[in-house]
Amino acid sequence: MEPNYSEYTTLELEDALENIDKENFPDRVERIRVELASRQTSAKSSLNTVSDDIEPNEQFFKCPTCEKKIGFFSKTANKWGKTKTCPHCNAPFQTTVKTKLFAIALIPALIIHLFILRPLVVAFDLHEAISTGIICGILSVLSMRYRKVRSNNVT
């Protein structure tokens, strides 16, 4: 039975490449390398089309190590502190806010807030601060990213 490397995560592929018996399974080694290369090529092309500001190991509500989804309202996402632990693979990751993305979204958010959301909230006889909270929450969610913890090796 041959393994289906297309179902492996990138971390699992790298682990398999390190631990495989290269002399007895040269065809599998080649298939793993081809799969890793194709993922790196597709990741680079998708990063170039989306934004140059996002680093290759950053994810939007996915663990940057195992690439499994982490819910926005989960315990992991809402723990205090910058460094958190993935509930799936127990790998540490950092929560960051992309200030460039936040700044770009700020002007349209203010326009939507002033001319659409606030009048709508006031029309429903609610306090106008509710619309401010909604806009701030949306901006926070849109600018939040997860990335791998960088090791600071000082020698």
Is 0.75 surpassed by the pTM of this model? no
Q: Where are the alpha helices (DSSP H) in 20-128?
A: 26-50, 99-112, 118-123
Write the CA distances from 93 to 60, 69, 134, integer angstroms: 12, 13, 27
What pLDDT, on a 0 to 100 scale, did the predictor assign at position 135? 92
Q: Please return the burial class of 85, using the count of CB atoms within 10 Å of its CB with bins 0-12, 13-18 and 19+.
A: middle
How wide is the angle at C-alpha 76 spanned by C-alphas 85 and 133, nearest 5°? 135
What pLDDT, on a 0 to 100 scale, did the predictor assign at position 154? 46
What pLDDT, on a 0 to 100 scale, did the predictor assign at position 107? 92
pLDDT digits (tens, 9 = 90+) for 78-108: 888 889 998 889 989 888 888 888 889 899 9
What pLDDT, on a 0 to 100 scale, did the predictor assign at position 59? 59
The position carrying tokens 């090791």 is: 151
What pLDDT, on a 0 to 100 scale, did the predictor assign at position 153? 47
Residue ranges of the chain with pLDDT lower than 70? 42-60, 151-155
